Structure 1
Amino acid sequence: MTALATPQFAAAQTTPQPAQESATVEDVIVTADRRERRLQDVPSAITAVTSETLERQRIVDLGSLSGSVPSFSMTEGSSLGKELNIRGITSVRIIDASAEPSVGTFVDEVYISRMGAAFTDFYDLERIEVIRGPQGVLLGKNVVGGAISVITNKPSFDPSGRITAGLGNYNAFNADGYMTGPLSSSLAARFAFQVRNRDGYGRNRLLNTDVDDLTAHQARAEFLYRPEDSNLRALLTVDYGSSKTAGSARSMTDDPFTAGIGAISAYSAARGYGPRDTLSPQREYGNRTTFGASLRIDYDLDWGARFTSITGYRDSAGEMGYNQLGAGNPPAIADTFYFAEDKPQTIAQEFRLVSDNPESRFNWIIGAFMQHDDVDRFDANRATSNSGIAALSGTYRYTNSAELDTSAIFGQIGYEFTDQLTATIGARYTRDKKGGRRIGACLEDGGDGLCVAALLLAGGQSWTVDYEKEWDAFTPQGIIEYRPNDDVMIYASVGKGFKGGGWDHIPATEAGARIGYDPEEVINYEIGAKTDLFNNSVRLNLAAFQMDYTNLQSQQLILECLCTVTSNAGSAKIQGVEAELTWAVNDQLLINAAGSVIDAKYEDFVTTAGVVFSGNRMQRSPRDKWNVGVTYDFGGGDLDRAFSFKANYTHTGDSFWTPNNTIKQEAFGLLDASLRFQMPNADWNITAWGKNLTDETYAVQAQAFFGDLMRYYGPPRTFGVDLSYSF
């Protein structure tokens, strides 16, 4: 798999053999199918990124994770606007309190329902599993695109600890660490923390302040109760995280698809401003805090099964404020400041019973899942200067309180017909109920009786809408596995995924606020092979798939209210192939490579305004993506393998930002590398690292505004040095 393993010697033979050593690829244990199994034994497309890779490649968040995983990318236009994409399936600006992401994120099997407000950075992790394709049976929450499963390190009864501190450019400081050990003969604890601070990658030229900066702190405590001679294990986890930033730089260039030259891009070009300069007359911000707790109880039953209960709670808050055009008036035609707050509270419960009898040819899982979310969302937009255009002057405010309930029962059964052939079927029945109250209010208009931007009300007017709806879904799955020998597994599967419906977050009218959109569904057909070749020195995994995607949720014009709302927009077909290779060349050199080619097109997409997108490529879906990495350990004498060099290059193909296939992100490549020095048997090491070493400028979001093309850019070249001490 991609960037997963380190070279290791094969076990010595017990019978006399010529003196010889051969490097093998390390096995990785995953829990994607709710059992602890070798990655190579799980019949689905999974990339497992281990703790060593996370540390050496400085994978600290979802954005940096995408460089090591095929078919996975992320766009981010604001601190609350993360949009994950797996195999072409993503949620684009569907951020209402009632909305769901297309790609699910789980931390220790607890679903994270609100990406922007709730998620924190990666630290002290055992691994991350990226599970591609719809997950309609086992993962707790039903998802259509795939899942990111984050697995934290657990407490140990063997005492240990580590602390790492580092410095980098942009005045960066980072520190993280953990300590674990027994509190008694039956209770162990683990405490972990992380700090990430840096100056901004960009600059507000008007206010002379940084943007794209970061101040982040996280901490986690875990307590493992494991009595001696008992079948009971209980794990309590409590975590807290916070982050602050002064907003993001937006670069304006001329939109080639709009006549004339954009005012902001012309103004910036005349003054020599770069892609990381912004001109907002207001101070921008993005703040997040999150508190979570979970309790997992496992009990091994004497008759060959394991009972598991997972209870999760999360209370989060996110807020942001930014100038929509990144500039005041002039040079923009309007000076509008947008505010948003997102405050979700979530409680979830899962029960499951999993067979655990290696002597039986049957394996099975049954379970139930329930989750309740209370989400309060506030959105406001204020025009802070007189544009001379009444429709672009005024102030609106939306408040939305939503209650979301989902419940499900699920089951799966597999049977080994022979030692080579296994068949598995499973299904989940899901019921979603969503409801709430939304208030739209125009505090002031521009004199034309219409509020700024979307809201079709005059100053002082408002409306209140109560909404509620229920949906249900049956999502089956079938898998066939064939093992011609111990080193090869071939599988074929078909499965269905489901994503709940909802309502638009800033409807223009009361009528529009009442119009909901229906759930999305995806059926995935997949064949794949997992192989360990040449005495386990080469691992090659392949997958080919076709997904039929229906009821796409998209923003479009609704004629009955003459307003733009989120609605269901036809269907799409996605076809692709993926490959992952790990080659342990010898005990010093490891090569990783992975890639995907995806043909993702709208099959039937005609908006209510009559605009035809059928046949176009799906937005924000790169056609191809690949990476290649190398790990090389070297040094002789007293410095035997004291040096370890690691590099990874990721190429992302071109993609379109909108369904009309005009504005494009050109293909780009990112190079990361690190060099570590650690004396043999030493308890300390020092690592020099660099990210985006070629200083590639690439967008993570793009929008068109009145002749200008606005882009948000990914991080520039960063580098630093870390010192780590273990005890």
Structure 2
Amino acid sequence: MDRRSSKLRLLVGVALTSLGPAIPALAQSQEAATTLGDVIVTARRTQERLQDVPISITVYSEEQIANRNIVTATDLGTYTPSLSVNQRFGPEKSSFAIRGFVQEPSTAPSVGVYFADVVAPRAQGGTTSGNTAVVGSFMDLQNVQVLKGPQGTLFGRNTTGGAVLLVPNRPVDSLEGWVEGQAGDYNMWRAQGVLNVPVNDKLRFRLALDRNKRDGYMKNKSGIGTDNYNDVNYFAGRLSAIVDLTPDLETYTIGTYSNSFSRGYGTRIAVCNPNVTPASGGAIFTALPACDQIARAEARGDGPLDVDINNPDPYLKLRHWAVINTTTWRASDTLTIKNIVSYQEFRERASFSLNGDNFTSRFPAGLPASRFPNGVPFSYILLNPAGDGNNSAQSTFSEELQFQGRAADDRLTWQAGGYLEQSDPIGFSAGYTGILATCTNPSILACTNPFGSGQISASATKFWFRNKGVYAQATYELTDQLSLTGGIRYTWDKTRALAQSTRIAPQADGSFVETCNDVVRFFNGAPGVPLVVTDQAQCRFQPPAEKSKKPTWLIDVDYKPTDDVLLYAKYVRGYRAGGINMTSIGLEGWGPEKVDNYEVGVKTGFRHGAVRGSLNVAAFYNKLSNQQLNVSAPSSVAGFAGAQPTVNAGKSKIQGVEVDGVATFFDRLRFELGYTYLDTELISINVPPIPAGAPYSALIPTAVAGGPLALAPKNRVSLTGTYTLPLSDRVGEVSLAATFVHTDKQTITQATLPDFREVPATDLLNLNVNWNNVMSKPIDLAFFVTNVTNEKYPVSVGSTYNSAGFENLLYGAPRMWGVRLRYSFGG
């Protein structure tokens, strides 16, 4: 038995032993509940009491979302120990990871995000986009539920790591609402409002609006373009309506819209290679200019949150709208039929410097000055949309029909259904990537090529996704205490794509020559002399479609010795679909990966006495096989740039313990706890052979066998304490709250210097002072501070050292403070 397994077993034993009645009650993250029955979740697609669901869940109420200042997906990841966030391209474009299940570039998400039971919009741009909680979706929510572990039987598409459920507030039958204003440092201001209107006893509406703006905390010292990055600037609106067509037939429609128009993210160059030589490949262009940029920053006295970026007009524009209809028919006392249909569109336009540079050329000795002049300003890699198009644009239609019922004197509860998802491109998702080309506006090709090696890669893609599934799950109560649950889902996935890819090279005389990209030429069987094109359609190619079909299943045994104690053990099979590599030859597609999850858990609650709450513990072991990994594929052919395809090459184990809890003492003092211990290991990498005819010299893994998985800190804990002052009702309710979050160091990538493969451990402290019902008026006042100690900490790494001779870091938010004022009416 190895040492890590012994440690895991010890932790499980200690956690389970701690469930004895002598220990004060703790509970899963939730509002200040007077009884456990107050928290209702939909983790099994029906409303159930939190403590009755055999799933490890963290729940945030509307009050907790406000007190923790959760605005984006990144904020949610700050407080949930099992939930990590990949912020490589900024907070608005982040992706989730749960229990170490990450989303590699271009792969499908491992964590499904659902708003009102509908999966997040698909998108397939050149960088991470879509498939997550869209900007503005955290306003006016009933709760957020983070489900940990595979959820594929009931939720389907790509939930090997888990699922995040955003549950909006429904229209109610009273005239009520609220307006709220916020203000704070970094010129932050936010205005929100909700209006609920019952038209009559059959029709009611709810309108929610959110306008949020804050300056960026990364200060740009270049004097070019914007003076700050990592800002917030969005508008979101939601209109929902419920119509009771008959006493047993209800239709619930939601329309949402969000528009984010920030300046995007900025990174800081942190290290360079000063020893490049003429034989150092592409690094001869960038390593020494990066050293000069670092020297400028040191001479200015720049801090970690200062950047030096020369993009003249950076922006990140994300636009999303959706219509969702849920129609529920209570056909009888034992049968309910529900239909969920949705249509949504997602668009992204972005201009950003991929690595945060502001370079002036300086070359190692021994190169001809005529081709390699010193002192020329340039950018390394600038990404822009192609003309007036979008970097990513996709529509998604989904349809789900559910049947839910009871039988055998209510001992059998069951549900079954079918799911269809169809996602189509809205034109080409197209972008220009300027590499070593000095461009004032790459979208109109106003570029020069000072070193004779610059180019603009013009890439345009269309993706079509088809997902179908049928499922059934049932729970049978063998006795009043013992029940058995079984579920199965069969899923069909198909992805096809069309691409056109050209390379635009600025010439010395100011003209441009556009040729088909290397991939196009190889794919079409013409790897020789580049074809000069007059129409980009000449450079289209269509890789083979990727198809897969797999079952997923669940077997669960529950034992409830009392109403407030649940013990469960389950085995779950999870599945994540394959995809298409658009920039590789012979490795155009990768297949699905699968996970086998074994989990045991205990949920226990205490309802009575001076101390109330619950403690929930889960221990899990996962075997991940056919794992989707990125590999580096250097070129074996002159003039071919190589690739970084995804392949099925990995085998990993993921094991750990999760603890969630809350304890309320004498109705005044409440503690909320979340803790995760993760032990992850990439056991082996079995890289496939290079396909015959493929222009690669090797396939080199970007991960390391025997090492931990990315975004999987070994220990992570979140602890919130709230004290409510013993004041008269005439004064109102005043509470003081503090949240502390510790995160161990975690691996980000293996494809860079050893010192930059991990981000360091962090200790973050947030404070809140809330004064509700001020002087018995419907007014709430709050003051908050996030990152009280003003810790400066990197959250992501650019992974550029091996190719470009420098490394850059993206930093998390510093200390911020603000005040909130809310006025409520009606109700």
Return the TM-score normalized by structure 2.
Answer: 0.80
Instruction: Return the alpha-carbon distance in structure 2 between the equivalents of residues 269 and 378 of structure 1.
Output: 38
Equivalent in 214, 225, 229 of residue 211 of structure 1: 229
- The question of whether the paired residues in 2 share the 8 Å contact of 1:577 and 1:598 is answered with yes
Amino acid at match of 2:455: G
Count residues in correspondence: 702
Taking a change above 3 Å as real, the CA distance of residues 256 and 553 of structure 1, as seen in their structure-2 partners, is: farther
Q: Unmatched 5+ residue regions in structure 1?
A: 9-23
CA deviation profile, 1:584-632 (whole Å, cap 9, x unmatched): 1111111111100101110112546355721111122211110100111
Displacement of 1:545:
0.4
- The question of whether the paired residues in 2 share the 8 Å contact of 1:444 and 1:459 is answered with no
- The question of whether the paired residues in 1 share the 8 Å contact of 2:797 and 2:810 is answered with yes
Instruction: Return the alpha-carbon distance in structure 2 between the equivalents of residues 176 and 665 of structure 1.
Output: 35
Aligned to 1:682: 777
Taking a change above 3 Å as real, the CA distance of residues 643 and 335 of structure 1, as seen in their structure-2 partners, is: same
Is 1:327 aligned to residue 357 of structure 2? yes
Residues 362-381 of structure 1: pairs in structure 2 closer than 5 A: 362-375=412-425, 376-381=428-433
Aligned to 1:221: 239
Residues 259-658 of structure 1: pairs in structure 2 closer than 5 A: 262-263=290-291, 264-282=293-311, 283-302=313-332, 304-330=334-360, 334-339=379-384, 341-356=391-406, 359-375=409-425, 376-383=428-435, 384-385=437-438, 391=453, 393-444=454-505, 460=532, 463-467=539-543, 468-505=545-582, 507=583, 511=585, 515-533=588-606, 535=608, 537-558=612-633, 563-607=643-687, 609=699, 613-637=704-728, 642-658=733-749
Instruction: Return the alpha-carbon distance in structure 2 between the equivalents of residues 454 and 331 of structure 1.
Output: 27
Taking a change above 3 Å as real, the CA distance of residues 454 and 160 of structure 1, as seen in their structure-2 partners, is: farther
Equivalent in 152, 173, 176 of residue 192 of structure 2: 176
Amino acid at match of 1:475: T
Deviates more, 1:529-538 or 1:363-372: 529-538
Displacement of 1:635:
4.0
Aligned to 1:699: 794
Displacement of 1:253:
1.0
Residues 95-244 of structure 1: pairs in structure 2 closer than 5 A: 99-114=107-122, 116-117=129-130, 119-121=134-136, 122-206=138-222, 207=224, 209-227=227-245, 230-244=247-261
Taking a change above 3 Å as real, the CA distance of residues 680 and 415 of structure 1, as seen in their structure-2 partners, is: farther
- The question of whether the paired residues in 2 share the 8 Å contact of 1:442 and 1:459 is answered with no
Taking a change above 3 Å as real, the CA distance of residues 417 and 327 of structure 1, as seen in their structure-2 partners, is: same
- The question of whether the paired residues in 1 share the 8 Å contact of 2:400 and 2:420 is answered with yes
Instruction: Return the alpha-carbon distance in structure 2 between the equivalents of residues 515 and 609 of structure 1.
Output: 14
Which of 1 and 2 has greater Rg?
Answer: 2
Taking a change above 3 Å as real, the CA distance of residues 244 and 683 of structure 1, as seen in their structure-2 partners, is: same
Q: Unmatched 5+ residue regions in structure 2?
A: 1-26, 124-128, 277-286, 363-377, 386-390, 439-447, 522-529, 637-641, 688-697
CA deviation profile, 1:22-72 (whole Å, cap 9, x unmatched): xx5563100110111001000111111111111111111211112332211
Equivalent in 76, 91, 98 of residue 103 of structure 2: 91
Deviates more, 1:161-170 or 1:545-554: 545-554
CA RMSD, Structure 1 to Structure 2 (Å):
2.7
Instruction: Return the alpha-carbon distance in structure 2 between the equivalents of residues 710 and 567 of structure 1.
Output: 27
Instruction: Return the alpha-carbon distance in structure 1 between the equivalents of residues 748 and 118 of structure 2.
Output: 31
Aligned to 1:21: none
Identical amino acids, percent of aligned pairs: 24
Instruction: Return the alpha-carbon distance in structure 1 between the equivalents of residues 68 and 632 of structure 2.
Output: 44
Aligned to 1:37: 48
Amino acid at match of 2:32: T
- The question of whether the paired residues in 2 share the 8 Å contact of 1:196 and 1:215 is answered with yes
Displacement of 1:532:
0.4
Aligned to 2:30: 4
Equivalent in 69, 85, 93 of residue 81 of structure 1: 93
SS in 2 for 1:569: strand
Instruction: Return the alpha-carbon distance in structure 2 between the equivalents of residues 471 and 364 of structure 1.
Output: 27
Instruction: Return the alpha-carbon distance in structure 2 between the equivalents of residues 103 and 459 of structure 1.
Output: 42
- The question of whether the paired residues in 2 share the 8 Å contact of 1:606 and 1:613 is answered with no
Deviates more, 1:184-193 or 1:456-465: 456-465
CA deviation profile, 1:116-168 (whole Å, cap 9, x unmatched): 34712210000001011111111143421111110000001112111101111
Aligned to 1:251: 268
CA deviation profile, 1:430-483 (whole Å, cap 9, x unmatched): 001111211111111789x99999979758467422131311011011100011
Instruction: Return the alpha-carbon distance in structure 2 between the equivalents of residues 105 and 644 of structure 1.
Output: 32
Amino acid at match of 1:246: R
Aligned to 2:692: none
Instruction: Return the alpha-carbon distance in structure 1 between the equivalents of residues 339 and 469 of structure 2.
Output: 15
Instruction: Return the alpha-carbon distance in structure 2 between the equivalents of residues 338 and 623 of structure 1.
Output: 35
SS in 1 for 2:459: strand
CA deviation profile, 1:649-673 (whole Å, cap 9, x unmatched): 1111101111469321010011111
Which structure has greater helix proportion?
2
Taking a change above 3 Å as real, the CA distance of residues 225 and 701 of structure 1, as seen in their structure-2 partners, is: same
- The question of whether the paired residues in 2 share the 8 Å contact of 1:329 and 1:387 is answered with no
Instruction: Return the alpha-carbon distance in structure 2 between the equivalents of residues 451 and 328 of structure 1.
Output: 28
Which structure has greater strand proportion?
1
Taking a change above 3 Å as real, the CA distance of residues 436 and 404 of structure 1, as seen in their structure-2 partners, is: same
Return the TM-score normalized by structure 1.
Answer: 0.91
Aligned to 2:14: none
Aligned to 2:369: none
Taking a change above 3 Å as real, the CA distance of residues 193 and 374 of structure 1, as seen in their structure-2 partners, is: same
Displacement of 1:636:
2.8
Taking a change above 3 Å as real, the CA distance of residues 258 and 192 of structure 1, as seen in their structure-2 partners, is: farther
Instruction: Return the alpha-carbon distance in structure 1 between the equivalents of residues 331 and 635 of structure 2.
Output: 59
Amino acid at match of 2:813: P
Instruction: Return the alpha-carbon distance in structure 2 between the equivalents of residues 387 and 277 of structure 1.
Output: 29
Displacement of 1:521:
1.3
Amino acid at match of 1:569: A
SS in 1 for 2:789: coil
